[in-house]
């Protein structure tokens, strides 16, 4: 089960950087700001649900049996929120800010992918600093 969860996390990271920008652009074009933030909020909510699940013993978390769910859940929520949720929110902000200014769809997609990648890197660094301190 641990291998499946690990592979799923890597797939989610790649999807955050490569596929969510396209989804955000589509949501913006079809629903405007409301559709964009609905898609972003749904994505962040699903990521936090996934984090809460992966913090449990049945999902293969090795720390949960020794330290308990109360120890692993906040750390998993922090880690997944920063490394997976922050790129989604940053893409939402980039689409909202640049959709009216940048006419080229591939250009805006590239801006969003760069934004997601930078947000992921920042999220990893912040999570490392916080989790190494606690």
Name the residue range of residue 46's domain: 2-133
CA atoms within 13 A on the CB side of 89: 14
pLDDT band at residue 29 under the 50/70/90 scheme: very high
Helix axis angle, 105-133 relative to 86-98, nearest 10°? Answer: 150
Average pLDDT value for the chain:
93
Residue 28: the pLDDT is 94
Instruction: Count how many domains the chain has.
Output: 1
pTM: 0.89
Q: What is the 3-state secondary structure (H, E, C) of the chain?
A: CHHHHHHHHHHHHHHHHHCHHHHHHHHHHHHHHHHHHHHHHHHHHHHHHHHHHHCCCCCCCCCHHHHCHHHHHHHHHHHHHHHHHHHHHHHHHHHHHHCCCCCCHHHHHHHHHHHHHHHHHHHHHHHHHHHHHC
pLDDT band at residue 22 under the 50/70/90 scheme: very high
Position 117 pLDDT exceeds 80 = yes
The number of beta carbons lying within 10 Å of the beta carbon of residue 18 is 14
Q: What is the pLDDT of residues 69-111, one digit of tens each?
A: 999 999 999 999 999 999 999 999 999 999 888 888 899 999 9
Position 131 pLDDT exceeds 80 = yes
């Amino acid at each position: 089960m641990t291998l499946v969860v690990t592979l799923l996390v890597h797939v989610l990271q790649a999807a955050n950087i490569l596929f969510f920008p396209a989804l955000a652009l589509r949501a913006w074009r079809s629903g405007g700001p409301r559709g964009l933030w609905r898609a972003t909020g749904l994505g962040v909510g699903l990521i936090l649900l996934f984090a809460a699940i992966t913090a449990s013993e049945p999902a293969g978390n090795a720390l949960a049996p020794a330290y308990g769910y109360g120890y692993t859940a906040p750390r998993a929520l922090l880690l997944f929120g920063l490394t997976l949720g922050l790129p989604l929110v940053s893409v939402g902000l980039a689409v909202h800010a640049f959709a009216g200014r940048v006419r080229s769809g591939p250009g805006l997609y590239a801006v969003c992918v760069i934004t997601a990648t930078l947000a992921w890197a920042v999220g990893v660094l912040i999570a490392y600093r916080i989790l190494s301190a606690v």
